Homo-oligomer: A and B are copies of this chain.
Amino acid sequence: MEREAIDQVRRFNRLVSQRIGALDDDFLARGRPLSEARLLHEIGSGHSNLSELREQLGLDSGYFARLLRSLESQELVETRAAPQDARARTLHLTARGEEEFAAYEGLSDAAADNLLQSLSETQQNRLTTAMAEVERLLRAAKISIALEDPRSADAAFCLGEYYAELDRRFDSGFVPDPDAPEEEYRQTTFLVARLKNNPVGCGMLRPLDHDIGEIKRVWTAASVRGLGVASRIMDRLESAARDQGCKRVRLDTNGTLKEAQAMYRKRGYREIPRYNDNPFAQHWFEKTL
């Protein structure tokens, strides 16, 4: 199973990189080095900030400057001083640049369409559906989850976002608890999910009783919802609880958080009577580990 999955991924990579390689060569077809074509494409797609773009493409600043000079000498791109900072530069396509950009777009579209056209309609639909799934999951795989100090800046950011959302969604609004004492922090397992170093989710576990843990503050940024981040956080928190010797975990929630409740039930949580005096809680759940 394991072996099969790895082989599938590797076969996929091999096949796709051939295919994609072939598509990329179409870029070359317009008689321009690939790096220039790519840069032109990025500028045309609205990246007008030089340093940001260089950072994103991960290129050496000298090399990048030279690529720009080349595009300028072809009169495809103009650079202007940035309004706020005379050292920085902004990038813009000229009219000719726009034309070239459109030509590349047309080529890329044609290549994609060509691929689709060699399939029946049913197959086309299956292909795009499967591609969307692969894309979604590759995106999800880029998100890493790690232990974090609950007093760190990233933890604070996640909690801030979480509280703001609760305040928006609860009928009664929401006011967070005051900060927990040091003692409590020490016993807390706090996880942060990150996409390229940006925090996009969190969740925590704390002891409730000698063999019961409580899961709290599971949050996912809107930008990454539907990627199963909350599930992965829950997985990790539950296995942490198990490692700490808990037999059961509990959690509470508000009636307006329907998706969360659906997830809890799907993960095997059962509704139980009120076990705390949280004024914002309307449902209480428990799962036996």
A residues sitting closer than 8 Å to B (CB atoms) are: 2, 4-6, 8-13, 15-17, 19-20, 23-24, 108-109, 112-113, 115-116, 118-120, 122-128, 130-135, 137-144, 228, 231-232, 235
Contacts and interface: CB of A to CB of B under 8 A. Distances in A.
A122 B227 CA distance: 12
A116 B16 CA distance: 17
Contact of A12 (B122, B134, B141, B144): B134
Contacts of A131: 8-9, 12, 130, 134
A273 B229 CA distance: 59
Contacts of A9: 112, 115-116, 127-128, 131
A6 B113 contact: yes
Nearest to A124: B5
Contacts of A137: 119, 123, 126-127, 130
**Which residue of A23, A24, A118, A228 has the most chain B CB atoms within 10 A of its CB atom?**
A118
Nearest to A24: B17
Copies assembled: 2
Contacts of A4: 128
21 contacts: A2-B113, A5-B128, A6-B112, A8-B135, A10-B112, A13-B23, A13-B112, A16-B135, A20-B20, A115-B138, A115-B141, A116-B141, A118-B143, A119-B228, A122-B231, A123-B137, A126-B137, A127-B138, A130-B130, A130-B134, A134-B134
Contacts of A126: 133, 137
A144 B114 CA distance: 11
A228 B120 CA distance: 8
Contact of A109 (B10, B20, B108): B10
Contacts of A124: 5
Given A140-B123, A232-B120, A134 B6 contact: no
A103 B9 CA distance: 18
Contacts of A235: 120
A197 to B, nearest CB: 15
Contacts of A123: 137, 140, 228
A157 to B, nearest CB: 22
9 tightest A-B contacts by CB?
A130-B133, A9-B112, A12-B131, A127-B137, A8-B128, A17-B20, A6-B112, A130-B130, A118-B141
Nearest to A119: B141
A7 to B, nearest CB: 8
